[in-house]
Chains A and B, each alone.
Chain A
Amino acid sequence: MNFPLVSKPPVLELRDLRTEFRIGGAWHAAVREVSLQVSANETLAVVGESGSGKSVTALSVLRLLPQSAARHGGGQVLLDGVDLAALSEKQMTKLRGEAIAMIFQEPMTSLNPTMTVGDQIAEAIQQHRNVTKKEARRLALEVLEEVKIPAAAKRYDDYPHQFSGGMRQRVMIAMALACKPRVLLADEPTTALDVTIQAQILSLLSELKTAHGMGVMFITHNLGVVAQIADRVAVMYAGEVVETADVHTLFARPMHPYTEALLRAMPRVDGNSAELESIPGGVPAINALPKGCAFAPRCRLKEARCEIDRPKLARVGATHQVRCVVRVEQHGDMA
């Protein structure tokens, strides 16, 4: 499962990652054999509906899931070829924020309301770098300016509640960037924002990605946002990657029936969509997954064999992989 056309080695690579949750005493997989790669200076969008396992994938990378309820069920998380699963908790703490940083949907709940935003960023810097307080303050101010907070020097000593939603998200991004991470995990960072602010944050993230040469894993449920920001896309459903391709291929020639259905279900601003096509039913619960293809119960291409064997992710193009036996057969398996 490698991409021959991607010349650079990936900074972050997930190999058959499996994450399980305990439900009623039994372990059930929320993320099932997910393989993803993010190269430097590349945005990989992970898109899916609620319950598709996209956030759990990101949290598994950083090992941020509660240990009492979740466990690593197999596979590897490789950062520059080093398996994170083998690291101790202490090494992991050092790595979080330093090599891999994460931003979340709701910045207000991730920021400390009793500390000024500048001090929070400076604290994060001192956590990872051996610098004086004064130097940390200078670096924090620099990064606040980099995320284009107007009058950053004046706002350094403001508290999070004094910022608007869009500015708070900028503060979160500043904090994530403070230690110049190689990988940024962004979990629905614009979902809580208004569209004009969302547009600003998306263009900021894309500028910063180029400026720092970061690998960005951008998690979202919004296909419109994916089209705006992604270089490559992975579509997730019921804990699996069902389709992955570069962004142009995915929108021009979606192959998996789920991707197609998602695109047809989305009302568009730029044209009169005739009839919206809804997808019947809902995402299956992780403790009630169907035996064969997880999407089969809602699929319009369903055949008898779909309900027996779980389909494999098969290559149908240079960067295009699809988990659907029916479609792969139609287009010829190139793998």
Chain B
Amino acid sequence: MNDLLQVRNLVKRFESGGGWLGGAKQIVRAVNDVSFSVGRGQSLGLVGESGCGKSTVARTLLRLVEPDEGSILFDGKDIRKASPSELRALRRRIQIVFQDPYASLNPRRTVRQALSEPLFVHKLGNALSIAAKVVQTIDEVGLPRSALDRYPHEFSGGQRQRIGIARALVLDPELIVADEPVSALDVSVQAQILQLLERLKRDRGLSFVFVSHDLGVVRHFCESVCVMYLGRIIEEGPTAEVLDSPRHPYSRVLRDSSPVPDPEARVRLSKIVGEIPAPTNLPPGCTFHPRCGRVQPDCKSRVPPMVELDARRMAACFYPLIDGGMNGLIAPKRIEIS
């Protein structure tokens, strides 16, 4: 196995209530037994609706949120067990790009200061080589060099996201965790940023964990995808296959709800019922069963494990769809892998 990143059985719980303000103590399992891996030069999409835990997974990868259980192996080293100095070294190799770059850039520092700071922190070269590196990076993300001496508020949303990407690139990372990097942008600017990310992936051989709620963007950018629902990964596989013939009923609902720019393909929306349950009070068994159109009695009592259905296709459903559920047949149960 020479995957760059291997995540195994990751769990993160948040607690709420139980303080001096009273209220019953509740535990939210934001991330529940999540496993995936990312190969070198590959990009993996994490998709799902709000509250499904996709951003929490992204944050645990850099230990911005401390996971409770499980392991995160980056290039063979367990990030969870790393000492502070090891973690610092690892964080140079894993960088994050956030949705709103304006909120993550210091408004009182120029772009040049923001880009040089990580190089000084990691003691990568002297002042001269750092200045050269900063100029090289700003060229790479397609901003004029005059941008270096300006402040974040002087830029448009797309330009700020370029600065956010430059800030991640300046340390020459191997893995970029991108948390909804194009969600706040207009469609024409979104395409510009996606093109930039694609070029970086190709030229630098970067790997990506790409968090998004937009299936179109994920289909365009990621080779493989994990669909999350209420803290669990419920389907995984090559992006085009998962979207063209989803095996988990939720993946199908998610795909069918995503509007496509074609009035001839209006989806019959009435079938999609219900909302996401509160994460403090998860339904027993399969968490999707209250919204599932194909629910069977055992779905309400047992949690379906992720099982391999075809080569590279996995889904956590006792009755996975065949042909994207077009014929409504129920597949025979496959053998569970450990």
A interface residues with partner B (beta carbon < 8 Å): 49-50, 164, 166-167, 194-200, 202-203, 221-228, 230, 247-248, 251, 261-263, 265-270, 272-273, 276-280, 282-283
Contact = CB atoms under 8 A, between A and B. Distances in A.
A251 B263 CA distance: 7
B186 A272 contact: no
A200 B220 CA distance: 26
Given A195-B49, A224-B261, A269-B258, A200 B272 contact: yes
Interface in B243-267: 243, 253-267
Contact of A194 (B213, B266, B269): B213
B282 interface: no
B50 interface: yes
User: Can you list the 5 inter-chain pairs with the closest CB atoms, starting with the nearest?
Assistant: A224-B259, A278-B191, A267-B220, A279-B188, A265-B191
Nearest to A197: B275
Given A49-B188, A197-B275, A282 B261 contact: no
Nearest to A231: B263
Contacts of B269: 199-200, 202-203, 228
B178 interface: no
A228 B266 contact: yes
B220 A247 contact: no
B187 A265 contact: yes
Interface of B: 49-50, 156, 158, 186-192, 194-195, 213-217, 219-221, 240, 243, 253-267, 269-270, 272-273, 275-276
A222 B259 contact: yes
Given A195-B257, A227-B260, 20 more contacts: A167-B275, A194-B276, A195-B49, A195-B258, A196-B49, A199-B256, A221-B186, A224-B260, A248-B264, A251-B261, A251-B262, A266-B191, A267-B191, A269-B215, A269-B255, A273-B219, A273-B220, A276-B220, A279-B188, A283-B186
B272 A268 contact: no
Contacts of A248: 263-264
Nearest to A262: B187
Contact of B259 (A49, A166, A225): A225
Contacts of A228: 259, 263, 266-267, 269
Nearest to A247: B263
Contacts of B240: 272
B219 A269 contact: yes
14 contacts: A167-B275, A195-B215, A196-B253, A199-B267, A227-B265, A251-B263, A262-B187, A269-B216, A269-B258, A278-B189, A279-B188, A280-B192, A282-B158, A282-B189
Given A198-B257, A224-B259, A272-B240, A262 B188 contact: yes
Given A228-B266, A248-B264, A267-B220, A196 B187 contact: no
Contacts of A247: 263
B263 A50 contact: no
A169 B279 CA distance: 21
A282 B161 CA distance: 14
Contact of B186 (A49, A263, A276): A49
A226 B265 CA distance: 12
A247 B263 CA distance: 7
Given A164-B275, A199-B272, A265 B220 contact: no
B334 to A, nearest CB: 27
A256 B73 CA distance: 50
Nearest to B214: A267
A278 B182 CA distance: 13
A132 to B, nearest CB: 34
Most buried by A among B186, B240, B259, B270: B259
A280 B158 CA distance: 11
Contact of B263 (A167, A227, A276, A278): A227
Contacts of A280: 192
B194 A276 contact: yes
Contacts of B254: 195-196
A200 B268 CA distance: 10
B213 A266 contact: no
A267 B216 contact: yes
Contacts of A198: 257, 259
Contacts of B256: 199
Contact of B261 (A166, A195, A227): A227
A261 B273 CA distance: 35
Nearest to A220: B259
Nearest to B221: A267
Contacts of A251: 261-264
Nearest to A202: B269
B188 A278 contact: yes
A266 B194 CA distance: 11
Contacts of B262: 227, 251, 270
Contacts of B265: 227, 270
Contacts of A194: 49-50, 213, 276
A237 to B, nearest CB: 10
Given A196-B272, A203-B270, A272-B240, A49 B257 contact: no
